[in-house]
Amino acid sequence: GAGVSQSPSNKVTEKGKDVELRCDPISGHTALYWYRQSLGQGLEFLIYFQGNSAPDKSGLPSDRFSAERTGGSVSTLTIQRTQQEDSAVYLCASSLDGGRWTDTQYFGPGTRLTVL
Amino acid sequence: DAKTTQPTSMDCAEGRAANLPCNHSTISGNEYVYWYRQIHSQGPQYIIHGLKNNETNEMASLIITEDRKSSTLILPHATLRDTAVYYCIVRVQPGAGSYQLTFGKGTKLSVIP
Query: Taking residues A7-36, what's their average pLDDT?
Result: 95
Instruction: Chain B: give the shortest CA distance to residue A38, in Å.
Output: 12
A107 → closest Cβ in B43, B49, B97: B43
Choosing among B37, B100, B101, B102, which should be mutated to test the A contact, i.e. which has the most A CBs within 10 A? B100
The A residues from 62 to 101 touching B (CB cutoff 8 Å) are 91, 93, 98-101
Which secondary structure element, helix H or strand E, spans residue B75, and what is its range?
strand B70-75
Helix/strand/coil for B81: helix
* Residue B20 main-chain phi, psi, to 5 deg: -110, 115
Relative to beta strand B84-90, strand A43-50 is: unpaired
Choosing among A9, A43, A106, which should be mutated to test the B contact, i.e. which has the most B CBs within 10 A? A43
Instruction: Give pLDDT tens digits for A40-82.
Output: 778 888 999 988 888 888 889 999 999 999 887 999 999 999 9
Residue A50 near residue A29 (C-beta atoms within 8 A): no
Whose CA is closest to B34, among B89, B84, B71? B89
Order across the sheet with A5-7: list the strands.
A5-7, A19-24, A75-79, A65-69
Query: Taking residues A23-32, what's their average pLDDT?
Result: 93
**CA angle at A34 for the pair B97 and A12, rounded to the nearest 5°:** 140
- Specify the pLDDT at position B97: 47
- Specify the pLDDT at position B76: 97
Instruction: Chain B: give the shortest CA distance to residue A92, in Å.
Output: 9
